[in-house]
Amino acid sequence: MRRYVYRGIFGVVGLVFAWWEGLHPWPSDPAHVSILTAIIVMFVLAILVGRRHQRMSSRAWLSRTWASIRRPTQRPPLYLFGTVVWVMLVLAVAGWDFRSFLLELHSLPTLSYLIGRVSRFATGRSILVAAWLALGAFFVAGNRVHLAPKGGRTSSPPRDAADREQLP
């Protein structure tokens, strides 16, 4: 129950921040300070809520990633195909964006230019900031492990006392 209260509080604060941010255009000092503050707050939150809640150490994660790259055929062929498509999509977007950036032609807008066409308006800027904050919150709190009562680890959050009482 408590985590839903926290989510609600952070959600409301985020929406108010996004609305306020929409009132300030990009060259203004308040826009710079507030975005920088949001970035610092997210990193601090990541440390606070992520301490002792990571699924594996960074060393183990690096080893797993390296093993996946060295022996990709350990995965099912369809899964491998899906991964290749994702990589190609990311490379296509990055490559086209980089090409447009280098050529600097009106007919070849970069992705940030297109997004800037939306964020130059107060409402568009507010919506984009809200989406950006939501993505940051997902990176902060997503995929954490929760300690089970006996010290083990579980992938789902622990139930609070009220929920536990309703279980058979």
Neighbouring C-beta atoms of residue 52, cutoff 10 Å: 7
How near is the Cβ of 21 to other proteins at its closest, in Å? 7
Phi and psi at 154, nearest 5°, equal -130, 150
Complex with other proteins: residue 85 or 147, whichever CB lies closer: 85
Q: Say how far apart CA 35 and CA 158 lie, in whole Å.
A: 33
How near is the Cβ of 159 to other proteins at its closest, in Å? 22
Complex with other proteins: residue 6 or 26, whichever CB lies closer: 26
Q: Which residues pair with 147 in a beta bridge?
A: 153
Q: Say how far apart CA 71 and CA 167 lie, in whole Å.
A: 44
Q: Write out the residues near other proteins by the rule CB under 8 A.
A: 21, 25-27, 31-32, 35-36, 38-39, 42-43, 46, 50, 54-58, 60-62, 76, 78-79, 81-83, 85-86, 89, 92-93, 96, 100, 105-109, 111-116, 119-120, 125, 128-129, 132, 135-136, 138-140, 142-144
Paired tokens of 17: 């921040």
